[in-house]
Structure 1
Amino acid sequence: MSSNLLKGTAILTIGLFLSKALGLLYVIPFYAIVGLESVGLYQYAYIPYNIALSVAIAGAPLAFSKYVAKYNALGDYATGRKLMKSGMSVMAITGVLSFLVLYSLAEPLAHLVRKSDEQDFTINEIASVIRWVSFALLVVPMMSLARGFLQGYQKMEPTAVSQLVEQIVRIIFVLAGAFIVVNLMDGSPRTAVNFAVFAAFIGALAGGAVLYKYWRGFKPEFDHLLANSPPAEDVSFRSMYKELFAYIFPFILVGVINPLYQFVDMITFNDAMDSIGLGSVTDDYFTMLNFLTHKIVMIPVMVATGFSMALIPVITGYYAKKDQNGISRSLDQTYQIMLFLTIPMVIGMMVLSNELYLFLYEKDVMGAEILASYAPVAILFGLYTVTAAILQGIDRHKWIVFTSLLGLLFKLALNIPLIKLFETNGAILATTIGYTIAVGINILIIKKTLNYRSKMVFRRLILIFLLNVAMFIAVIASLKGLTAISPAGGKMHAFLYILICTIVGAAIYGYLSFKTGLAQKLFGDRLTRLTNKLGLRR
Structure 2
Amino acid sequence: MGGVKIDREKVGALSKDSLVKGTLILAMAALIARVLGAVQRIPLVALLDDAGMATYSIAFNIYSFLLVVATAGIPSALSKLVSEQTALGQHAEANRIYRAATWFAVGAGVVMTLLLLVFAPYYAKDVSNDPDAVAAIRALAPALLLFPLIAIMRGYFQGRQRMMPNGLSQIIEQILRLVTAVGLAYLLLKLDYGHVWAVAGASFGGVMGSVGAIAVMVYFAMKLRRADMRSGLTANAKPVQPAKYSAIYSRLFRVSVPIVLFSTTVPLIYLIDSSITIGLLQGDLGYESAKEALGILGGRAQSLAGIPIILAIALSQSAVPVVSAAFARKDMALVRQQASKALYLSVVTGLPMVLAICAAARPLNGFLFGSHEGTSIIVLLTMSAMFQIVMQTSGAILMGMGRMKPLIVHVIVGIVIKLAASFLFASWLGIYGIIAATGLCFIVMAQLNLRVLRREVDYTILGRKWGGIAVTAIVSAGIGVAYEWAAYQWIQPFASRVNDMIHAVVVGGLVCLLYGGLLFVTRTVSESEIGSFPRPVQKLYRRFFARGGRQADQG
Q: TM-score, normalised by structure 1?
A: 0.88
Q: CA contact under 8 A between 1:5 and 1:311: conserved in structure 2?
A: no
| Match among 136, 139, 143 for residue 146 of structure 2 | 139
Instruction: State the Cα distance separating 1:441 from its structure 2 match.
Output: 1.5
- Cα offsets for 1:2-53 (capped at 9, x unmatched): 7666543322221111111111112111222222222222111111111211
1:64-103 Cα distance to aligned partner (Å, 9 max, x none): 2344455567776665433112110111011001100111
Counterparts of 1:313 and 1:48, CA distance in 2: 31
| 1:157 correspondence with 2:164 | yes
Separation in structure 2 between the aligned mates of residue 158 and residue 152 of structure 1, nearest angstrom: 12
Matching residue of 2:3: none
- Output the amino acid matched with 2:248: M
Aligned match for 2:31, one of 9, 17, 29: 17
Distance 1:212 1:385, change over 3 A: farther
2:508 is aligned to 502
Shift of 1:410: 1.1
If asked which structure has higher relative contact order (CA below 8 Å, sep 6+), I would say 1
Q: 2:448 aligns with which of 429, 435, 441?
A: 441
Matched, 1:39 2:46: no
Structure 2 counterpart of 1:82, from 86, 92, 96: 96
The 5 Å alignment of 1:379-528 reads 379-449=386-456, 451-454=457-460, 457-459=462-464, 462-486=467-491, 490-513=496-519, 516=523, 517=526, 520-523=530-533
Give the aligned partner of residue 99 of structure 1: 113
C-alpha deviations, 1:386-439, integer Å up to 9, x for none?
Answer: 222222222222222211111001111221121001101111111122222222
Larger radius of gyration: 2
Separation of aligned partners in 1, 2:474 and 2:274: 36
Other structure's SS at 1:505 match: helix
Residue 241 in 1 paired to residue 249 in 2? yes
The Cα shift of 1:345 comes to 0.9
Paired residue for 1:118?
none
CA distance in 2, matches of 1:533, 1:256: 42
Partner of 2:516: helix, strand, or coil?
Answer: helix
Offset from partner CA, 1:477-527 (integer Å, 9 cap, x none): 332442342369711101111111222223223334467545624228896
Tell me which residue corresponds to 2:382: 375
What amino acid is aligned across from residue 126 of structure 2 in structure 1? L
Q: Say whether residues 1:271 and 2:282 are aligned partners.
A: no
Answer whether contact 1:103 1:130 (CA < 8 A) is retained: yes
Q: Determine the C-alpha separation between the residues in 2 that align with 1:477 and 1:133.
A: 43
Q: What is the distance in 2 between the residues matched to 1:78 and 1:329?
A: 38
2:313–2:346 CA contact under 8 A, matched in 1: no
TM-score after normalising by structure 2: 0.86
Say if 1:421 and 1:99 are closer, same or farther in 2 by CA, change over 3 A. Answer: same
Corresponding residue to 1:27 among 41, 48, 70: 41
C-alpha distance in 2 between matches for 1:316 and 1:73? 18
1:50 maps to a residue whose letter is: S
Q: Secondary structure at the match of 1:281?
A: helix
Q: For 2:338, which of 330, 340, 357 is the aligned residue?
A: 330
Q: Does the 8 A contact of 1:139 with 1:204 survive in 2?
A: yes
CA displacement at 1:374 relative to structure 2: 1.2
Letter in 2 for 1:212: V
- Superposition RMSD on alpha carbons, in Å? 3.0
1:86-130 CA-to-partner distances (Å, cap 9, x unmatched) read 110111011001100111000110122454xxxxx5x2x221111
| Aligned amino acid, residue 395 of structure 1 | G
Whole-Å separation in 1 of the counterparts to 2:315 and 2:539: 25
Whole-Å Cα distance in 2 between the matches of residues 23 and 525 of structure 1?
26
Cα displacement (A) at 1:297: 0.4
CA 1:224–1:295: 2 relative to 1, 3 Å: farther
User: 1:269–1:416: 8 Å Cα contact kept in structure 2?
Assistant: no
Which residue is 2:10 aligned to?
A: none
Instruction: Report the Cα offset of residue 368 of structure 1.
Output: 0.5
Structure 1: gaps spanning 5 or more residues: 116-120
Identify which of 250, 255, 258 aligns with 2:258.
250
Cα distance, 1:174 vs structure 2: 0.9
| Inter-CA distance 358–429: structure 2 relative to 1 (3 Å threshold) | same
SS in 2 for 1:376: helix
Quote the offset at 1:358 in angstroms. Answer: 1.0
CA–CA distance in structure 2, aligned partners of residues 158 and 131 of structure 1: 29
Q: Secondary structure of 1:177's match?
A: helix
Give 1:359's aligned residue. Answer: 367
Describe the SS at the equivalent of 1:386.
Answer: helix
1:260 partnered with 2:229: no
| Post-superposition CA distance 1:284-341 (Å, at most 9, x none) | 0111113321111011111244347655555444445555455444323322222222
- 1:59 lines up with 2:79 in the alignment: no
SS in 2 for 1:375: helix
1:206-355 alignment to 2 at 5 Å?
206-219=212-225, 220=227, 236-307=244-315, 310=318, 313-355=321-363
Q: How far off is 1:265 after superposition? A: 2.1
- Following the alignment from structure 2 to structure 1, what is the Cα–Cα distance between the partners of residues 417 and 540? 48
> Offset of 1:217 from its aligned partner?
4.2
Q: Distance in 2 between matches of 1:21 and 1:239?
A: 40
Q: Which moved more, 1:380-389 or 1:159-168?
A: 380-389
SS at the partner of 2:141? helix
Task: Tell me the matched-pair count.
Answer: 527
